[in-house]
Structure 1
Amino acid sequence: MPITLTVTEGLLAPAVEAQVFAGLTEALLEIEQLDGNAFMEPNVIGTVNVVPPGRVYTGGKPGTAAFVELKLPGVALATPEAKGRFIARATDVVERAAEGRLARDHIWVNVVYAADGAWGIAGRSYDNDALVDAISSAAVQ
Structure 2
Amino acid sequence: MPITLTVPEGVFNADTEAKVFAELTDTLLDIEGLQDNAFMVPNVVGTLNVLPRNRIFSGGAAAEAAFVELKLPAVALASPDAKRRFIESATQIVARASSGRIVPERVWVNVVYAADGAWGIGGRGYDNAALGGAIQAAAPAR
Same fold flag (TM > 0.5): yes
The corresponding residue for 2:48 is 48
**For 1:99 and 1:136, how far apart are their aligned partners in 2?**
38
Residue 99 of structure 1 corresponds to 99
User: Structure 1: how far apart are the matches of 2:119 and 2:102?
Assistant: 34
Q: Which residue of 2 aligns with 1:79?
A: 79
- Distance in 2 between the 1:48 and 1:37 partners? 24
| Structure 2 residue aligned with 1:29 | 29
* Aligned-residue offset at 1:20: 0.1
Task: Give the distance between the partners of 1:21 and 1:62, measured in 2 at CA.
Answer: 24
Q: Which residue of 2 aligns with 1:4?
A: 4
Q: How far is the alpha carbon of 1:11 from its aligned partner?
A: 1.2
Q: Matches of 1:92 and 1:12 in 2, distance apart?
A: 15
Structure 1 position 14 matched with structure 2 position 14: yes
Tell me which amino acid in the other structure corresponds to 2:97: A
Aligned CA RMSD, in angstroms, stands at 0.6
Q: Which runs of 5+ in 1 are unaligned?
A: none
Identity of aligned residues (%): 62
Gaps of 5+ in 2: none
Distance 2:72 2:87 in 1: 14
Tell me the distance in 2 between the aligned counterparts of 1:38 and 1:14.
27
Q: In 1, Cα distance between the equivalents of 2:29 and 2:109? A: 16
Residue number in structure 1 paired with 2:112: 112
CA distance in 1, matches of 2:95, 2:64: 13
Partner AA of 1:121 in structure 2: I
The Cα of 1:13 is off from its aligned counterpart by 1.7
Structure 2 distance, partners of 1:111, 1:10, is 26
**Count of aligned pairs:** 141
Deviations 1:96-125 (A, max 9, x none): 100111111100000000000000000000
The runs of at least 4 aligned residues of structure 1 exceeding 3 Å deviation read none
When normalised by structure 1's length, the TM-score is: 0.98
Distance in 2 between residues matched to 1:27 and 1:94, nearest whole Å: 12
Report the Cα offset of residue 40 of structure 1: 0.1
Q: Distance in 2 between matches of 1:72 and 1:90?
A: 15
**Secondary structure in 2 matching 1:12:** coil
